[in-house]
């Protein structure tokens, strides 16, 4: 069997052994956490103990942890729930402010609200590193802060790894009474994340990005924050999120979260050093490759390296690398059969042709020197073939960033 170098941990990362053991253990036990009999009460105890674990790991109160099916649902609840709640309190608050480099789980519901719910969408510009323009945000709030329903700026960008200046963002928004949400899906386990200290009103986390299972996540919502439900039914989570809670997934997620946060300093140092060797090797193998995102490693995620390769199509690079046993991601998305460059790179001012040649390499707890060496060995021939292919690769179906 061919050995594969997996360099796509930002899309999903293998489960931590401890989290897998917890999941397996709890899958054997029946019980709906909303049931009143013994099995139901046992499942409820699992859910609430996991809530306490998650809160402790993230600097929150247990009552502020709202379980969801993952990051996408949590982002939708934040954007839609905050907007509708604010509009109910003050109909003049119609503006949704989001950075132009947000994940589609934030951008798409924001655009949907503008099309269907009377919202006015404001896309905040970013600089060449993918970092939100704080001056532009200040100007927007000073001119239209009284009409702002919410502000969403991600903790760390999922494509180029840029860390956002959340302390400045939150401070500005607070002056105008605007609640702030951050998608912290990529940040948890890589950089320090403390919900209370951040001053955020809401924050999204996800299980499968940190070594937990897929299908589970959480929205941290500060006490007293009004959210209008997006899902309706039994009202299991504070009345704002309905649906039977999956106790095994929640317990496993909490175990992964606890370990990821506890081991973060050692993990971040190890993968950061490995990332630096990956970057150096890519630059040596392909001298004209351009590293995207902040050059200062203190301003980007330690596990992230994002490059554009001039004269190449990202999907061609992706499939050629895959054939060579190296798995990565491309910054392109394909809609209606038309390859499109990453909205993140375009917002950063990258030319469309250059943006098409993007690859993201991300590391995780199973990453090794051998994975990086495999990339370095395969890359020169892959880039040469991709450049020779020219426009031929544009008709294929690229992978989608997660």
- List the end-to-end C-alpha distance of the chain, in Å, as a whole number: 27
The C-alpha atoms of residue 40 and residue 47 are separated, in whole angstroms, by: 11
272-293: b or e for each residue (b if 16 or more CB lie within 10 Å)? bebbeebbebbeebbeebeebb
Coil, helix or strand at residue 390: helix
Pairing between β-strand 65-68 and β-strand 217-221 as defined by DSSP bridges? antiparallel
Distance CA 361, CA 163 (A): 17
At residue 361, the 3 state secondary structure works out as strand
**Residue 205 CB partners (closer than 8 Å, separation 6+):** 54, 58, 71, 74, 184, 185, 188, 217, 218, 220, 257
Active site positions, annotated: 334
């Amino acid at each position: 069997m061919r050995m594969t170098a997996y360099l796509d941990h930002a899309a999903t990362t293998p489960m931590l052994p401890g989290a897998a053991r917890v999941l397996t253990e709890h899958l054997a036990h029946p019980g709906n956490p909303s049931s009143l009999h013994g099995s139901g009460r046992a499942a409820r105890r699992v859910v609430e103990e996991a809530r306490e674990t998650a809160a402790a790991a993230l600097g929150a109160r247990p009552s502020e942890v709202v379980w969801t099916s993952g990051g996408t649902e949590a982002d939708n609840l934040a954007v839609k729930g905050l907007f509708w709640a604010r509009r109910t309190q003050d109909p003049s608050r119609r503006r949704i402010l989001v950075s132009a480099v947000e994940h589609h789980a934030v951008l798409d519901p924001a655009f949907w609200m503008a099309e269907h719910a009377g919202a006015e969408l404001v896309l905040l510009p970013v600089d060449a590193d993918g970092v939100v323009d704080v001056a532009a945000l200040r100007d927007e709030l000073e001119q239209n802060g009284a009409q702002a329903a919410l502000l969403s700026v991600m903790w760390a960008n999922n494509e180029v790894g840029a860390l956002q200046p959340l302390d400045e963002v939150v401070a500005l928004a607070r002056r105008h009474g605007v609640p702030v949400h951050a998608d912290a899906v990529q940040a948890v386990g890589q950089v320090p994340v403390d919900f209370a200290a951040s001053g955020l009103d809401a924050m999204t986390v996800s299980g499968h990005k940190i070594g937990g299972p897929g299908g589970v996540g959480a929205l941290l919502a500060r006490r007293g924050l009004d959210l209008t439900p997006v899902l309706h039914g039994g009202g299991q989570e504070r009345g704002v999120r309905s649906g039977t809670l999956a106790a095994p997934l929640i317990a496993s997620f909490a175990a992964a979260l606890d370990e990821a946060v506890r081991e973060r300093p050692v993990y971040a140092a190890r993968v950061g050093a490995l990332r630096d060797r990956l970057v150096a090797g890519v630059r040596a193998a392909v001298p004209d490759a351009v590293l995207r995102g902040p050059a200062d490693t203190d301003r980007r995620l330690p596990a992230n390296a994002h490059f554009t390769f001039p004269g190449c199509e990202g999907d061609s690079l992706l499939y050629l690398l895959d054939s060579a046993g190296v798995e990565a991601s491309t910054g392109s998305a394909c809609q209606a059969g038309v390859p499109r460059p990453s909205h993140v790179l375009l917002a950063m001012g990258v030319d469309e042709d250059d943006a098409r040649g993007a690859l993201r390499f991300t590391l995780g707890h199973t990453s090794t020197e051998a994975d990086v060496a495999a990339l370095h060995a395969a890359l020169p021939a892959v880039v040469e073939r991709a450049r020779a292919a020219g426009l031929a690769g544009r008709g294929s179906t690229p992978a989608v960033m997660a």
